[in-house]
Structure 1
């Protein structure tokens, strides 16, 4: 017998309760070799993290990035690629303005 509060969750529902699915190797390699894809993934991840943690995102962001990288090799490859594209686009004046606007607004 199961408790009254027992619920069965599908794989898709677990994505929302666990904070996202792990990266596939294909996704990780796409982030490296297709610059706009990696940049958009990194930019949207930074924006989503800031919105989810509005008061602590600057303090806890790198720790959570490190935890995500420790989950699997494809996650580490994807996260390094997205971070590299995000930082490299931020080094240009126009890119910095665009990145800051997307993350902060």
Structure 2
């Protein structure tokens, strides 16, 4: 049997600590997304823009899978993502915000 050697600076992280190292929302961010509609819209629309830039060829096919995978990370992510998605979908449903949303998502 082989021994696995770990570096001297090796640390074990708990599940809660992994949320911060892998990225994720806090409960404060989730509350802000729910109670400050502009914050939820801004974070949601910029997340769509960033995802489109990272996946230019298949962002429409893989976007919902990536969103559901992010929601599964934690309860805070679930609440945050639902609030941001609701804000973006609500703004897209209005004629006034459809054009600005498209300019943000498809802009450089």
The two structures share one fold, judged by TM-score above 0.5? yes
Unaligned runs of 5+ in 1: none
State the TM-score, normalized to the length of structure 1. 0.81
Q: Which runs of 5+ in 2 are unaligned?
A: 11-16
Larger Rg: 2
Deviations 1:3-49 (A, max 9, x none): 9xxxx9xx9xx95xx5xx11100000100000100000001000000
Q: What is residue 43 of structure 2 aligned with on the other side? A: 41
The alignment partner of 1:22 has SS state of coil
Moved over 2 A (4+): none
Are 2:54 and 1:52 equivalent residues in the alignment? yes
TM-score when normalising by structure 2: 0.79
Task: Please list, as runs of the form range in 1=range in 2, the aligned pairs for 1:1-105 lying within 5 A after superposition.
Answer: 18=22, 21-105=23-107
- Mapped to 2, the partners of 1:91 and 1:63 lie a distance apart of 22
